[in-house]
Amino acid sequence: MLEGWILTILVSVGVGSLLFMVALVILLRNNIHATMFWNEIVLEKITNFVMDQSKEQRILNSVSYNAVKGDPESVLDCIDNYCSQKEWAMNVGDEKGVILDKVVEEADPTIALEFGTYVGYSAIRIARLLKPNARLLTIEFNPEFASIAREIIEIAGLSEKITIIEGHSQDIIPQLREKYQVDKVDFVFLDHWKERYCPDTILLEECGYLRKGSILLADNIVYPGAPDFIKYIRSHKSFDCTNYPSHLEYMKVEDAMEKAVYMG
Select which of 80, 87, 94, 219 is catalytic. Answer: 219
85 is in an annotated binding site: no
Check: CB of residue 185 under 8 Å from CB of residue 158: no
- Check the annotation: does 169 bind a ligand: yes
Does residue 194 have an active-site annotation?
A: yes
126/77 Cα distance (integer angstroms): 15
Q: Spot the catalytic one: 55, 194, 200, 255.
A: 194
Q: Is 17 annotated as a binding residue?
A: no
170 labeled part of a ligand binding site: yes
Q: Is 168 annotated as a binding residue?
A: yes
* Gap between the Cα atoms of 229 and 217, Å rounded: 11
Annotated catalytic residue, options 220, 255, 258, 259: 220
Active site residue 101: no
Peptide bond into 224 cis (omega under 30): yes
**Are the C-beta atoms of residues 262 and 239 closer than 8 Å to each other?**
yes
Catalytic residue among 56, 87, 114, 191: 191
Annotation-wise, does 92 bind a ligand? yes
Query: Is residue 194 marked as binding?
Result: yes
Residue 240 in marked binding region: no
Q: Report whether 30 belongs to an annotated binding site.
A: no
232 touches 198 (CB < 8 A) = yes
Residue tagged active-site, from 114, 249, 255, 258: 249
According to the annotation, is 220 in a ligand binding site?
yes
Residue 249 annotated among the catalytic residues of the structure: yes
What residues form the annotated binding site for substrate?
A: 194, 220, 249
Binding-site residues for S-adenosyl-L-methionine: 92, 122, 140, 167-170, 191
Any idea which residues carry the catalytic annotation?
A: 191, 194, 219-220, 249
Known binding-site residue numbers: 92, 122, 140, 167-170, 191, 194, 219-220, 249
